[in-house]
Structure formats: structure tokens, C-alpha cells
């Protein structure tokens, strides 16, 4: 019988812990969220983040900019937010419009306020095992595995997807925990044979029900980071959940698995950013 990994439950416990720590911090914690354009998915994510911040006690500042906002205008806003002492964290919602250089925007964020963990400095710290903040979805995967006491050390972890947001940071985190890691992507040959060797299979490719039953090893742990719509418009993951679940020892559902963890880790990262800047201000 497989174990259903309940991301909602774990996320609520993390948010409660963050809420209690903020109460004892002795200062207001503020997150600035910047959204450019009218991407409907981005609006949903931002609203979920705002609700979580309100419930936890984090002040949320929202900057909604039109689609035709220039790169210079966006960079100027980030500069101002970097200089506001009361702003502890800055999040620029991705994707950005095509005329804006995403890498340049991310690098403009003060690494101490980079609650997404995407800047080159924070990425480097992650790979060196010296991080305070890691990308929200990636560290959320580790939190789920830890909560359910799933052994990582010595296990073969196969990650399908190599994005800077999920695939690469998850690989760094799993390596740090002494897992043997294989990262697969669109150019990987014989994917079927590789995924079948995974003790822990993590998918983040954005293709509905891409991982089928015959691609999963008996007794594997399956973490599905994908959020897609199936042919009926229903939310689903990268994994064919109904046909795969009874072949696993543990599996995340979609929705209700990794999704809630991303928001929970965002508020935790915001708290960590605030604490780090408090320490720096006393030096």
C-alpha cells in the first residue's frame, strides 16, 4: 500500500512555525512582490502568496506593472526596493514579458532579499552547501521527504527536468544529502530505462501524465512537481497518478502535493531573509 504525501498538511505546519517565530522576532517582516503583465497563472500564484503572508503576519507589498513596462523601469523599481530598509524580501514573479531580460532582472535583486534563491550568489552558495535560502519548490521537496522520514542518503534519485527553478536546485540539494543523482532532460536518450532505476523519482517537465506506469520502479518514491491541465481541463501532474500510485511506496498528488509547499517555503525564506538582515544591521 502506498503512502500519499500530503503537501497541504506539511505546508500548514511550516506556516504555523513561521507565524510563531515572526511573533517573537520583534520587528515587522515585509515581502515585496512584483508582477509584470497579465499572465493568469501568475496572478493566481501571487494571490495565493498574498493570502499566506496575511495569515502568517508578513506584510505584503504588491507592485503590478503593465505588460509594456520597460526593462529599465523594472530595474529601477528593484533598485528602490533594494534600498528600502523595511523590505526584507523581493520576489519578481516569473515569467516576465519577452522584451525583458529575466537573468538581468534576477541579478539586480539584492541576494539578501532574494527569497526565490535565484541570484547567482545564492545559486553558488546552494551548490557549495553554504545556503541560507534555496529555491522554494526545490527545498519544499526536501521538506516533504524529511517529514515522511524517507531516506535520501545512498538512494538513486532521478530528476526529470533541468530548470533553474526546480531541476538543478533539487539536484544540488539531493547531492548534499548524499543521494546519487541523475538529471534527465529533453535530450536524454532511453529515458524509460533511467527512470526505472530510480529509488526516488522527481518530475518537473510540465507535460500532463508524461510519466507512465512502465517508467517507474516497483517501490519507488515519486515526487510530482508538475502542474498541468489534462484533456478535460482538470489539474494534473507530470505523472499518470492513477496508474502509477499502487506501484510506489509513496507519491505526491496533484493538486495537494508540492504546490502548497512552494508557498510555505516562500514565507519561510522571507523570514530567513529578515533574520539575516537583522544580524547584518547589528554588525
Q: Is 3 a catalytic residue?
A: no
Which listed residue (15, 49, 125, 268) is catalytic? 49
Q: Can you tell me whether residue 63 is helix, strand or coil?
A: strand
- Count the residues in the chain: 283
Annotated catalytic residue within 15, 93, 199, 238: 93
Please state, in angstroms and rounded to a whole number, the distance separating the CA atoms of residues 278 and 274: 6
Hey, which residues does 33 pair with through a beta bridge? 62, 91
Dist. CA 262–CA 223, nearest whole Å: 14
Locate 150 and state its grid cell: 524517507
Q: Is 49 a catalytic residue?
A: yes
Grid coordinates belonging to 144: 516533504
Dist. CA 96–CA 102, nearest whole Å: 7
The verdict on whether 132 is a catalytic residue reads no
Which residues on neighbouring strands pair with residue 181, listed in sequence order? 157
36 in helix, strand or coil? strand
What contacts 206, CB < 8 A, 6 or more positions away? 161, 226, 227, 228, 238
Catalytic residue among 88, 114, 116, 238: 116
Give the Å distances, CA to CA, from 128 to 42, 136, 163, 172. 31, 18, 19, 9
Report the alpha-carbon distance of residue 236 to residue 209 in Å, rounded.
7
Distance CA(170)–CA(85), nearest Å, equals 31
Residue from 141, 160, 174 nearest 262 by CA: 141
**Nearest 5 degrees, angle CA 164-CA 166-CA 171?**
90
- Looking at the annotation, which residues are catalytic? 49, 93, 116
Amino acid at each position: 500500500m502506498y503512502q500519499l504525501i500530503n503537501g497541504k498538511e506539511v505546508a500548514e505546519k511550516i506556516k504555523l512555525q513561521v507565524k510563531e517565530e515572526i511573533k517573537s522576532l520583534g520587528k515587522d517582516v515585509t515581502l515585496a512582490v512584483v508582477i509584470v503583465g497579465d499572465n493568469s497563472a501568475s496572478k493566481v500564484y501571487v494571490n495565493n502568496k498574498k493570502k499566506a503572508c496575511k495569515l502568517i503576519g508578513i506584510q505584503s507589498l504588491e507592485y503590478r506593472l503593465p505588460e509594456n513596462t520597460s526593462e529599465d523601469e523594472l530595474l529601477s523599481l528593484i533598485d528602490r526596493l533594494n534600498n528600502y530598509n523595511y523590505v526584507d524580501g523581493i520576489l519578481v514573479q516569473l515569467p516576465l514579458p519577452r522584451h525583458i531580460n529575466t537573468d538581468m532582472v534576477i541579478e539586480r535583486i539584492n541576494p539578501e532579499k532574494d527569497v526565490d534563491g535565484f541570484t547567482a550568489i545564492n545559486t553558488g552558495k546552494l551548490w557549495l552547501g553554504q545556503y541560507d535560502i534555496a529555491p522554494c519548490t526545490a527545498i519544499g521537496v526536501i521538506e516533504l521527504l524529511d517529514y515522511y522520514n524517507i531516506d535520501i542518503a545512498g538512494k538513486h534519485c532521478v530528476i526529470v527536468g533541468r530548470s533553474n527553478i526546480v531541476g538543478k536546485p533539487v539536484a544540488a540539494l539531493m547531492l548534499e544529502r548524499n543521494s546519487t543523482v541523475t538529471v534527465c532532460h529533453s535530450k536524454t536518450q532511453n529515458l524509460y530505462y533511467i527512470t526505472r532505476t530510480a529509488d526516488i523519482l522527481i518530475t518537473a517537465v510540465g507535460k500532463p501524465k508524461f510519466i507512465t506506469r512502465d517508467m517507474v520502479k516497483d517501490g519507488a518514491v515519486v515526487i510530482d512537481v508538475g502542474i498541468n491541465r489534462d484533456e478535460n481541463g482538470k489539474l494534473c501532474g507530470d505523472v499518470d497518478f492513477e496508474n502509477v500510485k499502487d506501484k510506489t511506496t509513496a507519491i505526491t498528488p496533484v493538486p495537494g502535493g508540492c504546490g502548497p509547499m512552494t508557498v510555505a517555503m516562500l514565507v519561510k525564506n522571507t523570514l530567513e531573509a529578515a533574520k539575516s538582515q537583522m544580524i547584518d544591521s547589528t554588525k
